Amino acid sequence: MIDVSVNGIWMSTLGAALFERRLPVLPETDDNTLKLAGRDGVVDFGGSYGPRTVGLTFEITVSGAEFNAAVASLARTFGRRGEIALEFSDMPDKKWRCVYAGTLALGETGSRLIDVSLRMNDPWPQSAQTTELHEYGDGLSFGEGYFYTDHSVAVTASGQTFTINNAGSNDVGPLIRITGAFTDLSLSDGESTVTLTGTTGVDDVIEIDCAADKQTVRKNGANAYAMSNGVFPLLQPGITEFTVSATSVNVRIEFVFYYKYLY
């Protein structure tokens, strides 16, 4: 039997078994087309994906005396404002981030089935954790929520190359964190090049947030967009090779992101 966790709470522990899951393989598309008079067909200006709708049906499994309490628990779980994170037992390590959309509807009188309507504003499920480097002593060890990461590399020579693996099935805008000393650094994946003009010290931290809704550059927490060329690369699925060029470079470069999946 498939179970579903909502913000870390498995619904089976609340007396609700997942009866049906309506989870489209891909979200619907939003097409941008224009019909011109006297011309067959339409002009296609491209399209994008809309939000993904998710429907869940639960069967209340507790006794009649506990029925109303179980329904109330479901209402509290799904009726909260803001985003909730779903995880299905048959798809571990993927988070489906949704908002409550619609109504929490019971079936006909005497029915133990209850429908929940949800919407993913960002339609892509993502990994349960980021690629951020953690050390033993941070509180957890390998197998307890942390995993080994190869998304953090030391760079000590101009012209040095390294690879970053996006194990998801969708592109993603990473947070690129550069810690250490350099003068006039560039970071290229062969198609786009990030440049940072100026000099940093051994304790300085530059963070380039390439997420589409962020696109910021910060130095030690303060706005440093002016030292960049305003390029924010996306990581495509698979392995990407980067080349670093700089003067007097001694840095650690870390790529922090969630894997994103089509399904």
CATH assignment of the domain containing 239: 2.60.120.860
Q: What is the pLDDT of residues 125-147, one digit of tens each?
A: 999 888 886 544 445 444 444 44
Nearest to 78 by CA among 114, 29, 129, 121: 114
Contact in structure between 166 and 237 (CB atoms under 8 Å): yes
CA–CA distance from 205 to each of 15, 90, 179, 196, 223 (Å)?
Answer: 48, 40, 4, 12, 12
> Of all residues in the chain, what percent carry a pLDDT higher than 90?
75
Tokens 């590399």, residue? 153
Nearest to 224 by CA among 178, 174, 172, 164: 178
Across the chain, mean pLDDT equals 90
CA–CA distance from 88 to each of 21, 57, 106, 150 (Å)?
Answer: 10, 14, 22, 27
Amino acid at 142: F
> Who's near 14: CB < 8 A, 6+ residues apart?
70, 73, 74, 77
Q: What would the mean pLDDT of 80-90 be, rounded to a whole number?
A: 93
Q: Does 131 map to a domain?
A: no
What is the domain range of residue 157? Answer: 152-256
Q: Look at residue 218 in the predicted model and tell me its pLDDT.
A: 98
Q: Does 193 map to a domain?
A: yes
Q: What is the pLDDT of residues 37-60, one digit of tens each?
A: 888 888 877 778 899 999 999 999
Tokens 């909260």, residue? 80
Q: Specify whether 16 is located in the same domain as 108.
A: yes
CA dihedral sign, ordered 128, 130, 136, 139: negative
Q: Specify whether 59 is located in the same domain as 16.
A: yes
CA–CA distance from 110 to each of 11, 19, 90, 104, 250 (Å)?
Answer: 21, 16, 30, 16, 69
Domain count, the chain: 2
Tokens of 16: 């609700």
Contact in structure between 59 and 4 (CB atoms under 8 Å): no
CATH assignment of the domain containing 61: 2.40.30.200
The DSSP line for 136-191 is: TTSS--BTTTB-----EEEE-STT-EEEEEE-SSS-B--EEEEEEEEEEEEEE-SS
Q: What is the pLDDT of residues 160-169, one digit of tens each?
A: 999 999 999 9
Q: What is the pLDDT of residues 5-24, one digit of tens each?
A: 999 999 999 999 999 999 99
Q: What is the DSSP letter of 134?
A: -
Q: Specify whether 85 is located in the same domain as 184.
A: no
CA–CA distance from 99 to each of 7, 10, 233 (Å)?
Answer: 12, 18, 29
Q: What is the pLDDT of residues 196-247, one digit of tens each?
A: 999 999 999 999 999 999 999 999 999 999 999 999 999 999 999 999 999 9
